[in-house]
Amino acid sequence: MLAGIIYLLYDRILRHARARNAPWCRSEEMRRLPLACIAGPFIVASLFWAGWTAKPSVHWIVPVLSGVSFGVGYLLIFMALLNYLVDAYEIFAASAMAAASMVRSLFGAVLPFAARPMYERLGVPWACSLLGFLSLLMCGIPFAFVVWGDRIRANSKFCQYLLQRKREEAAEIERRERDERRREGGDDQEKDVEAQTSVV
């Protein structure tokens, strides 16, 4: 619910920015990735929170509540990245989302095999801290895409193909509109000639 509220608030900000044609909202990265930038710290905080409060001396509700922060971060990243993939890859969106789901499922299947040995060797506090530090490093990924995303997409064959398709579609629409205007102009001239003939 908290993630949904944050998402709706950002969507409202984005809608107002589009209404006034703000320059920042024309970029796919700026439209979608700020939510992912916000989400990272929630996940990092939740991992350190859970790791260092999971003790017999601390009431069980304290580490359990770290799941709220984790849930907010996870859902915001999930929504932001899915929307970003759709915006960035357009007609290839289904393939991009399938690839993202495959990688997510692959890591979700493999990483649990490492979890038990990691927690047994490092202990709960340091195992969670290791995950927290790794998450902290990955927090920079959405920021990197905000800064360099347009260059990354410029080097993508898929994105170049999409750009070419957009240009071709725009040219086709312009050609149709021009032809339509010519036809309408020709029809008007015929009507004028008919009107003059009927007057005569």
Domain ranges for the chain: 2-155
Q: What is the pLDDT of residue 172?
A: 82
Residue 115 CA to its chain's centroid (Å)? 29
Q: What is the pLDDT of residue 77?
A: 92
Q: Which string of b and e fits 46-56 if b means at least 16 CB within 10 Å? A: bbbbbbbbbee
Q: Mean pLDDT, consecutive 10-residue segments, the chain of 200 residues?
A: 92 88 80 89 95 92 94 93 83 82 91 90 94 93 86 72 73 83 67 54
Three-state SS annotation for the chain = CHHHHHHHHHHHHHHHHHHCCCHHHHCHHHHHCHHHHHHHHHHHHHHHHHHHHCCCCCCCHHHHHHHHHHHHHHHHHHHHHHHHHHHHHHHHHHHHHHHHHHHHHHHHHHHHHHHHHHHHHHHHHHHHHHHHHHHHHHCHHHHHHHHHHHHHHHCCHHHHHHHHHHHHHHHHHHHHHHHHHHHHHHHHHHHHHHHHHHHC
Nearest Cα to Cα of residue 38 among 78, 86, 1: 78
Q: What is the pLDDT of residue 190?
A: 53
Q: What is the pLDDT of residue 39?
A: 92
